């Protein structure tokens, strides 16, 4: 029997599948663990047993190596070249930002990001160019790549306005939350920055926002923290760079967040602790992705959404009532792989 999530009926208006132009998803079971990221090839990074792993669309599962003196690791993100970033920890090294580079079949190298503080740092995201972003306690936010080396954003961004870094797009724009709780943007190509403020026009007042994702169009998504003393203080929110408007994807609840966007701005979000896998499709509305899975996989229940790639691949957790199998699953849009849902026109500028 497929599971139900009665919470969403109270806080969402789900759109009709019969009249919508939305994808059907093929489902692939990966195994145990906690998913963190998926790329356009359907490859994923995940964590299990205090270690970081890579799983390919072909079915290969590989344990990522630890750097010297590390005893555990966490993968945060991967790009379309399968470059994986995250953090490795050990008693003598603290917790340090690392990069895993594929060197051949089932062969990986691992290196520390050369931050100015060697004892406490993290790598939170990487784009397809190879720009790695993260934080370090001695200075704040950084970007690092093999060509340009290490750049501390506080070398040119005003104090307090550099983002706690969440994501970076292929236009080389970083998004995150700054000291004031606002959306913060940094363009590392032009070395410009902007305090993007709080969401407006949704009918809700916010005291802060955790900006989680940005695509190449400049669309942004995240968790809006409602200005209220009530426990219902979270909304999943998204910004459309083309129309320069914000929209809230649910009524305020104790826990909700928009996690990431695909290349068209279609948005993966979560409502509640054991959230179903929810998608807001541009021009179509909100759908429970469990209802969009291919007929042959309709025995699967989906929860705990993790990530979405530019082409619309989704990684989450699943449970198959027919076999009793549970674990990480990857959902791939059938046939068009999401490209039909892209907006018309060239990418919109992100910096205003």
Looking at residue 175, its pLDDT comes to: 98
- Sorted by sequence, the CB contacts under 8 Å of residue 328 that are 6+ apart come out as 29, 30, 31, 32, 33, 34, 35, 44, 46, 55, 315, 316, 317, 318
pLDDT at 13: 62
Q: What is the pLDDT of residue 348?
A: 39
In this prediction, residue 116 carries a pLDDT of 66
Whether this prediction's pTM lies above 0.95 is answered by no
And the tokens for 155?
């070398």
pLDDT at 18: 59
Instruction: Please report the pLDDT score of residue 333 as a whole number.
Output: 95
Determine the pLDDT at residue 158: 86
pLDDT in tens, the chain (352 residues): 333 333 444 456 677 665 568 999 999 999 999 999 999 999 999 999 999 999 999 999 999 999 999 999 999 999 999 999 999 999 999 999 999 999 998 999 999 999 767 789 999 999 999 999 999 986 689 999 999 999 999 888 987 888 899 999 999 999 999 999 999 999 999 999 999 999 999 999 999 999 999 999 999 999 999 999 999 999 999 999 999 999 999 999 999 999 999 999 999 999 998 889 999 998 899 999 999 999 999 999 999 999 999 999 999 999 999 999 999 999 999 864 444 444 444 443 444 4
- Closest Cα to residue 176, out of 148, 224, 226, 214? 214
């Amino acid at each position: 029997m497929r599971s139900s999530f009665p919470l969403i009926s109270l806080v969402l208006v789900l759109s009709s599948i019969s009249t919508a132009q939305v994808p059907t998803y093929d489902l692939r079971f990966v195994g145990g663990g906690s998913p963190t990221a998926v790329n356009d090839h359907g490859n994923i990074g995940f964590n299990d047993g205090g270690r970081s792993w890579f799983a390919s669309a072909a079915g290969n599962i590989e344990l990522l190596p630890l750097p010297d003196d590390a005893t555990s690791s966490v993968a945060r993100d991967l790009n379309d070249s399968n470059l994986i970033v995250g953090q490795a920890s050990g008693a003598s090294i603290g917790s340090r930002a690392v990069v895993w580079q594929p060197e051949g079949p089932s062969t990986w190298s691992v290196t520390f990001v050369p931050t100015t503080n060697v004892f406490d740092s993290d790598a939170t995201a990487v784009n397809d160019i190879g720009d790695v972003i993260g934080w370090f306690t001695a200075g704040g936010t950084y970007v690092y790549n093999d060509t340009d080396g290490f750049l501390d954003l506080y070398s040119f961004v005003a104090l307090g306005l550099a983002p706690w870094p969440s994501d970076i797009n292929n236009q080389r724009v970083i998004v995150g939350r700054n000291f004031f709780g606002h959306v913060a943007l940094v363009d590392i190509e032009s070395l410009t920055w902007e305090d993007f403020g709080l969401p407006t026009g949704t009918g809700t007042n916010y005291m802060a926002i955790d900006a989680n994702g940005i695509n190449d169009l400049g669309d942004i998504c995240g968790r809006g923290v409602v200005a209220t003393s009530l426990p219902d203080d979270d909304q999943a929110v998204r910004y459309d760079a083309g129309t320069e408007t914000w929209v809230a994807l649910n009524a305020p609840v104790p826990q909700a967040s928009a996690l990431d966007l695909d290349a068209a701005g279609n948005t993966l979000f979560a409502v509640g602790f054991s959230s179903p896998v929810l998608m807001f499709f541009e021009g179509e509305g909100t759908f429970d992705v469990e209802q969009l899975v291919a007929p042959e996989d309709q025995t699967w229940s989906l929860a705990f959404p993790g990530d979405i790639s530019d082409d619309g691949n989704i990684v989450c957790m699943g449970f198959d009532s027919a076999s009793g199998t549970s674990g990480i699953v990857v959902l791939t849009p059938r046939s068009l792989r999401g490209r039909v849902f892209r907006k018309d026109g060239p990418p919109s500028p992100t910096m205003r």
